[in-house]
Each structure stands twice: as structure tokens, then as C-alpha cells.
Amino acid sequence: MVVHPDPEKLGLSPARLARIEPWMQKYVDGGRLPGATTLVARHGKVVFCETRGYGDLEGKKPLTLDSIMRFYSMTKPITAVAIMMLYEQGCFQLDDPLSDFIPAFKNMRVYRSGSGDNMITTPATTPITIHHLLTHTAGLTYGVENQGGVPGMYKEQRTDFYPNDGPLPSVVDRLAGIPLEFNPGSRWEYSVSFGVLGRLVEVVSGKPLDIYLKENIFDPLGMADTGFFVPDDKHDRFVSLYQCTPDAPLVLMESATDSPLMGPVETLSGGEGLVSTLKDYFCFIEMLRRKGEFNGQRLLGRKSVALMTCNHMPGDLADMGQPTFCETTFEGMGFGLGMSVLVDPAKAKILGTPGEYAWGGYASTAFWVDPKEDLTVIFLTQLIPSSTYPIRRELRVLTYQALVG
């Protein structure tokens, strides 16, 4: 990764950018993160790119710029791009019913109360559309252990799109047999909808999701290290996953040498299934920043990127959303197609610019693009859950305070 020798020419203070390094080191030295990588770019030129700590604490394996990590929900923007590529080819309209392509979702019902034979449901007032899936307004949710209602059914039916939940068609069909949490379009709730969109890519394109993404996104953008598992010849670059628990801040959750991602997986999740690297994801984000084109390869027209990165909510997420776990704040934040969109920095109580788009992953990874400032930031680590520390908000302060021109 080539770093520009004079950030000041790009409007950033080198001395102020340098404040990011001790911040990263403090998290690592304090035993709160196993390792951390931060990239800051302006006008497409990298002005800061540093890594600290370990990819594997037990083996003292350093985290490097080419370490392969679990990107979890940062898979979602990639799946959104795949959907928009098919949309541009005239394969569907965004307001088309999902059941036109996956019939199992026809005549959905909405959960009201009870369970088993005593469960009460009512017919959905509107069909799920592709737009509902892209904006997390489809009535879907995530599974929760030891909880009743719809989240409990997700766990029982194994519909969270984990690596070994079964072939993608069967997972989606099981999901379609579970009542919706709410009527489509009536509210926002973070969900498995991008797992369903991954299956939609397969149905419409006629290709398995992994093959479609490789041929149409990864290969054109040069994302050689991105996929649904880590190939044998790259195992040494894969890192371990850690969890913060009440008893210890860093507990090994999944070793790099004992992970289901070390070989082909059964479930190709368009919502959280990809592993990738800093370089690869920067190529993808550059394509979005450049309005659909990177390295001579155009994936989308500029108007499609503009549609993806504008707010599709009537206000912010607080107006429609439920206070459940997700990768963004609700106040002052809207949502586009596969990513959040900042609506009001004052209401969100963060530094930023209206119109910037972003998303993160369960292992505390994150990115954002500020089109007005032409600024790109990527942060990578491997700690779950992503709500453990205010990393993203702190990095925003450290990044924006370095802007001087």
C-alpha cells in the first residue's frame, strides 16, 4: 500500500494524522484489541496506513496489511452492488415482489403472538419487494438464543446464514416459512435480508453466488483475496477472532487454524459471509467513491451509485427503527441500499458530513466515505461484538480533526 509522502498537499495535517497511531497502540497495549489496522485516503490517495498488534495472540503472529479477516456485515455493500448490477441489466425493478423470483415468499404472514399450535399470525398487508430487502424494511430480523417469537424461530430453523446452515436455497426456503416480524415497509430492522438477496443473485443470474461475485466484482476489481473461505495456500495469512466477555476483554472465539472458513462452506451468505483484506476492500470502496469505476473497470453507472448512497428513509432510522443491535447509530442516520447514510451530524452527535455513507461488521470492522470531503476511511480488527468499544466514533474524531484544507 503506497502512502502519499506529503498529506498536507491533500489537505491533512501530518502531525494531526499521527494522533491515530497512539490511539491504536493504546487499544492493543491495553489488551482491548488483538490488533488494529487503519487506512485514511483523500482524493483516492492513501495518507495514512498503519497496523498494530497481532492477528493471533496465542501464537504471537503479527497483524499485517495483507492479513485475511472476517468482514461479516461489510459483505452487505458488496451484495448490494451485485443486485444493482443485475438491476442495470434490466433483470428486475426494485419494487418488484420478491415472490416473482423466489415463490416461497408469496402470501407471507406477520407474527402476532403465541407459539406452536397456538401461534397467531395475520396476512401481510404488502408483499416483500427487492427494495425492502435492500433497506432492511422487509419484516425480517436476526435470530436470538433463548427468546420466543420470530427471533427464536430463526434459531430453531437455522436461518441466520451461518457457514454450515445448509445450502443457500434450503436456508431461504426455511426462512420463508417463518412469519414476518412486521409488515414490509412499516419499519426498519437490521436483518438477514442480504442473505436472501444473495439467493436472488443466484436465481436471476443463474450462477452460484460465489461464482457471480468473483466473475463480476472480485476479478474486475483485482480483489484476489476475497471470498467465502480461505484457500489452502493462504491459511498462514488468516487471523483469529476474539470476544469481549464479562470475565475477560479478549477471549479466543475462533482460532485461525480451527475455523469453518478454512475450507469451502455450505452456506454462501450475502449478508456476512466474506473474508477479505485491507487492499481488496479499499479497491471495492474506491469503486464506489469513483461512482462505479475503478482501475479501468466500470461495474455500475454513476446514477446507480448515487441511488445506493442516498437516504431511502422518510427521516432518520430513529423514525422507523427499533433499538436493536446493528452497525450504526439511529439518531441522525438514514439508510441507503446496503449502507447507512449520514443525514444530520448534529443529531447523530458525531463529526461528519451529510451524505457520507458507511457500514461495519460484527468483528468491529468499519468503513466510511465522505463524498464532499472526498475522504475514505477503513478500520479493521477482529473483536466481537462490534458494540464493545466506541472505536468508530473515536476514529471519526481523529480523522476529521486532521482535515485542515
**Alpha carbons 199 and 287: distance in angstroms, whole number:** 24
CA atoms within 13 A on the CB side of 191: 26
CA–CA separation, 310 and 339 (whole Å): 9
Over the stretch 260-309, which tens digit does the pLDDT of each residue have?
999 999 999 999 999 999 999 999 999 999 999 999 999 999 999 999 99
Over the stretch 205-229, which tens digit does the pLDDT of each residue have? 999 999 999 999 999 999 999 999 9
Average pLDDT estimate for 351-369: 97
The chain-wide mean pLDDT, for the chain, equals: 96
- Condensed to tens digits (0 to 9), the pLDDT of residues 62-115 reads 999 999 999 999 999 999 999 999 999 999 999 999 999 999 999 999 999 998
CA gap 66, 340 in Å, rounded: 27
| Residue burial 12-49, b: 16+ Cβ < 10 Å; e: rest | beeebbeebeebbeebbeeebbbbbbbbbbbeeebbbb
Q: What is the spatial distance between Cα 370 and Cα 187, in angstroms, rounded to a whole number?
A: 27
Residue 372, pLDDT score? 98
Half-sphere exposure of 181 (CA within 13 A, CB side): 26
Contact between 374 and 43 under an 8 Å Cβ cutoff? The reply is yes
Question: Which grid coordinates belong to 31?
Answer: 489488551
Give residue 243's region: left, alpha or beta (phi > 0; psi -120 to 50): beta
Q: Tell me, what's the pLDDT at 145?
A: 73
Confidence of residue 144 (pLDDT cuts 50, 70, 90): confident
